Amino acid sequence: MKQMDHSNDTCVSLINSHLVWCPKRRRKMVGGRLKTRLEDLIRETAPELGCEMVALEIMPDHLPPVVSATPHWVPNHIVGRFKGKTSRILRQEFPFLQRMPSLGSRSYVWSTTGHVSADTIRRYSEAQRTRG
């Protein structure tokens, strides 16, 4: 994983984080053109939030990007902007998504790199099957 740092007049930071969220009820809905467009939207949104995408591999039932973020944005704002913007635009461009009351679950995992294991991501992803 490449190291990125952010700096301004008062702060230098290196905050690389795993960010994981799932579609509502962990539907396997992300594939084909939808997957490609979602990836584009996430990459477009990152710079707006002062983030850089370190890694992005979209799975059919969860999204586990790794972002390098500045300390000026708190995690829930970054997650909310990613989820909100992608949901809004995808619903406009893919009409079948408008029939779903919600695209994403309200929960997410945010952990600094080096502290989250594949097992943690798997357990979170599995737990989404039981939530409404």
Domain chopping of the chain, boundaries: 13-130
Sequence letter at residue 13: S
Paired sense of beta strands 52-55 and 15-20, if any? unpaired
Mean model confidence pLDDT for the chain: 77
Of these ranges, 18-32, 36-50, 93-107, the one predicted with the greatest mean pLDDT is 36-50
Question: What distance in Å separates the CA atoms of residue 107 and residue 112, rounded to the nearest whole number?
Answer: 17
Q: Is the pLDDT of residue 34 over 70?
A: yes
Q: What is the pLDDT of residues 50-93, one digit of tens each?
A: 888 888 888 777 777 788 877 777 888 888 888 889 889 999 99
Q: Which CATH architecture has domain 13-130?
A: 2-Layer Sandwich (3.30)
Q: How confident is the model at residue 10 (pLDDT cuts 50, 70, 90)?
A: low
Q: Is the pLDDT of residue 120 over 90?
A: no
